[in-house]
Structure 1
Amino acid sequence: MPSTELKHRFEIAAPPERVFAHLAEPSNYIGLSPLLVAVRDVHRTETDGTLHYTAVERFRFLGVLTHDNIIGVTLVAAPERLPARAEITGEVRSPARVRMSYRFTIDRHASGSVVTDTLHLRTPPGLLRFAASQAGAVQQNRARVLTARLSGA
């Protein structure tokens, strides 16, 4: 399957603990992506605390037609190195065989935190360009919304 990696790094005037807590909660992702409209069926694995949930992305076509893309998400939050650093990783599985692994690395910085948002996309042939453009737009939006939410901007 064709693949690509997207990386976006940005600063937030909030401590890593606060950024980590926000990104470790699935319901907080609503609004971080303009496509994400719902999070449901959240389950925590008893042995390691991994979260599994269903997310709903809503695509609009021609401003009238909509398509709800139901995706399975796994989220692993690793606070072991807080307060200096934390990571959140996971995997997204879409019905169109689009796979995306993600990693947020949150590092302490003089102004609060530096977040590195890394996405690795794998798609069937012919879908990579579209998926990468959508994912890149979501990364940029996520940085703006997260910064506004957590720094009070």
Structure 2
Amino acid sequence: MADDRKPSIEFETTAVVAASPETVYRHLTDPHSYIGLSPLIVAVRDVRTGHDAEGRAVTDYLAVERFRLVGPLRWDNRIRVRMIATEPGGQLVSEVSSPGWVWLRAQVDLTAVAEGTRVRESVTAGAPAPLRRFVTTQARQVASYRAAELTRRMAAG
């Protein structure tokens, strides 16, 4: 999806959560887990699962991001997501295509550590110049929130 495009946004977040890599993996490979895990995702629809040519598990779905504008005004942004998963405790890659020529690729690496699992998310994204600052700010805020919420969920469960 984003392979031939030059990213204009790149950053990484890391968190340590109190759960095994297998538990974190199961949670992150369920598209419905992203409702609330990402502060913008309010719905997940049209989930389709299968395998790619390399035998990796692939999940395609439509997620709805809700942006609050002014007062009661809001914008529901429908994004297409393709999630490619490896074995538990390994890697999970999500490729997102959004309206306005915005794309994002998030690679999550799970590593067992004494405290549970180190979750490292590397994000690359691209957006047209007029949207770049907004996309960068939103992507960083969402990644930070997601790391904190995943830490909370894994401690609670």
How far apart are the structure 2 equivalents of 1:40 and 1:94?
15
Matches within 5 A, 1:113-128: 113-128=117-132
Residues 84-111 of structure 1 show CA distances to partners (whole Å, capped at 9, x for unaligned) of: x411002000011100011110100010
How far apart are the structure 1 equivalents of 2:119 and 2:104?
18
Is contact 2:7-2:124 (8 Å) kept? no
Structure 2 counterpart of 1:53, from 50, 61, 64:
61
- Tell me whether 1:67 sits opposite 2:75 in the alignment: yes
**C-alpha deviation, 1:45, in angstroms:** 2.5
1:42 corresponding residue in structure 2: 47
Is contact 2:43-2:64 (8 Å) kept? yes
- Tell me whether 1:7 sits opposite 2:12 in the alignment: yes
How far apart are the structure 1 equivalents of 2:28 and 2:111?
14
Structure 2 counterpart of 1:108, from 105, 112, 117:
112
2:153 corresponding residue in structure 1: 149
Sort the Cα spacing of 1:126 and 1:114 in 2 relative to 1 into closer, same or farther, 3 A. Answer: same
How far apart are the structure 1 equivalents of 2:144 and 2:49?
29
Is contact 1:2-1:128 (8 Å) kept? no
Output the amino acid matched with 1:122. Answer: G
Is contact 1:2-1:124 (8 Å) kept? no
TM-score normalised to structure 2 length: 0.90
Number of aligned positions between the proteins:
149
How far apart are the structure 1 equivalents of 2:67 and 2:78?
11
How far apart are the structure 1 equivalents of 2:82 and 2:103?
12
How far apart are the structure 1 equivalents of 2:10 and 2:118?
19
Output the amino acid matched with 1:95. Answer: P
Look up the SS of the partner of 1:64 in the other structure: coil
Output the amino acid matched with 1:148. Answer: R
**C-alpha deviation, 1:152, in angstroms:** 1.6
1:19 corresponding residue in structure 2: 24
2:33 corresponding residue in structure 1: 28
Residues 54-108 of structure 1 show CA distances to partners (whole Å, capped at 9, x for unaligned) of: 00001111131111100000001111xx4xx411002000011100011110100
4+ aligned runs moved over 6 Å, structure 1? none
